[in-house]
Amino acid sequence: MKRIIFVLSLVLLLALSSVTAFADEIIINIDSAKVEFNEELGFPFVDENNRTQVPFRAALEKYGAEVDWDNEDRIAIAAKGEIVVKVPIGENYILKNDEKIDVDTAARIVDGRTYLPIRAVIEAFGSEVEWDAALNTVVITTEPVDAKAIYFAANEKSYAWDNYDADAKINMSINMPDAEGNIQPFNMDMNMYMTLFMNPVKAKINASMVMPGMENMPVQPIMNMYMTVDEEAITQYIAIPGTDGELSWVKQTIASDKLSDLVKKAEETRQKNKELIEKYTEDVKYFGKYTEEGKTLLRLQYTMSGDIYKELFADAKDIMPEPANEEEAMAVEMLENFASMDIGDLTFIVYIDEASGEMVKMEMDLADMVESMASGMAEAMGIPPEAMEILKGLKAAVSMEFLNINSAEDFEIPEEALNAPEMSEMFKTETEIEVEVDVEVNEEIEAGEEEL
């Protein structure tokens, strides 16, 4: 369900169409403790070989090693336990207990300070080193952490959630031409607050947006939505505020005789989703511990093969009924496009509460996914080439926080939503309307003839 919400966020983004700026500072964390640097010790930097160079003494002493310097041979020396690592200045190798290990960059002296390639040296001591690109942080872990097991355990717990709230924020930035044709940055922040219940399945979603040039104005509501799923249909109730602020409701019902079987096989469906996640999850990394609101959170990164969405969209397409109108036919066509397109691998950041093992936050960069999906739908949706060029410069990120797990406030769908007109009625073609009028006229004529 969490991934469904991510996809829903993406669809909203596409329909309505600032990424965090990272500091230049490179952070070194050893077992989640930050190494402090200053002008006297020097600061880490990335060299011409795209390798992080770190002040030798500050980093290795924080790591727990004893450090020394061989001035005659210009070699930095670090010892911890039974391992001694020697780092010759200007050489593309290091020595671990006098055994040579080739590296793709060299230690150096800059402004009188010794710098070493941190990954090569720390890995020589047997510790793990990861690069957290989003936080510009080198993550050093002295004891092994099974990141994959932690993630799958948290994911397993989430399948037992009966209800929860999700607070999602979508930050977008895109370069677009203004009225004079000059390219200008266009920034937009969207907030979505969702309440979801799993038995029976229902959702409440409120979306609002901060528009460019209106950052000091109150957040503008853009949509309210409810969704229910039962054995007969998936029903969406959507309200969009008018210029007067009043909500205008419409509903869409997707009925299928296959839904009954899906609802009855809910546990089987959940098991299949779990299997898909395990099948397509790759390269889970541990990025250390962070404290937030009194909780210790484990930060993990994992890569999800985009092929999982082909299967998910194919499953959704299979339960769609035969289209009864042009709108439903377009929806089926979009699902077919989604199921066939190559989205590519997607990278997620997740935060897991160390005490409870529950997943509490998820982050994702949507830009590549939006471009891939838009490319796949370009022909079907009539997206012109110039619009696709603009999309290539899109920056978009989603952050979603999971709140009130198993204690979300229940809700009822308002009467005005339940009684709203069907969307299919609002999007009838002129031909359908003419046919209905002709039928009504013929019925009136026939009724008049009978009276005569």
pLDDT tens track for 225-257: 999 988 777 899 999 877 777 778 999 887 766
Q: What is the pLDDT of residues 88-138, one digit of tens each?
A: 999 999 999 999 999 999 999 999 999 999 999 999 999 999 999 999 999
70 φψ region: left (φ > 0), alpha (ψ -120 to 50), beta (else): beta
Question: pLDDT averaged over the chain?
Answer: 79
Q: Are 22 and 136 in contact (CB under 8 A)?
A: yes
| Pairing of the two strands 52-55 and 113-117 | antiparallel
For residue 52, report the phi and psi dihedrals to the nearest 5 degrees. Answer: -80, 120
Domain range annotation of the chain: 37-125, 147-426
Which residue reads 């799993």 in tokens? 198
We find that the CATH architecture of domain 147-426 is Clam (2.50)
User: CA torsion, points 275, 8, 394, 239, in degrees to nearest 10?
Assistant: 180
Residue 252 DSSP SS3 = strand
DSSP state for residue 339 in the 8-state scheme: H
Residue of 212, 205, 223 lying closest to 167 (CA atoms): 205
Which pLDDT belongs to residue 24? Answer: 64
Q: Reduced to 3 DSSP states, what percent helix, strand and coil does the chain have, rounded to the nearest 5?
A: 30, 40, 30
Q: What is the pLDDT of residues 397-429, one digit of tens each?
A: 889 999 999 999 999 999 999 999 987 665 554
More confident residue, 174 or 415: 415
Q: Are 339 and 313 in contact (CB under 8 A)?
A: yes
Which pLDDT belongs to residue 187? Answer: 78
CB atoms within 10 A of CB 52: 20
Residue 349 DSSP SS3 = strand
pTM for the model: 0.78
CB atoms within 10 A of CB 76: 23
CATH of domain 37-125: 3.30.457.10
Identical fold for domains 37-125 and 147-426, yes or no, is no
For residue 214, report the phi and psi dihedrals to the nearest 5 degrees. Answer: -125, 25
User: CA torsion, points 425, 430, 433, 434, in degrees to nearest 10?
Assistant: -170
Average pLDDT rounded to a whole number, residues 51-75 = 95
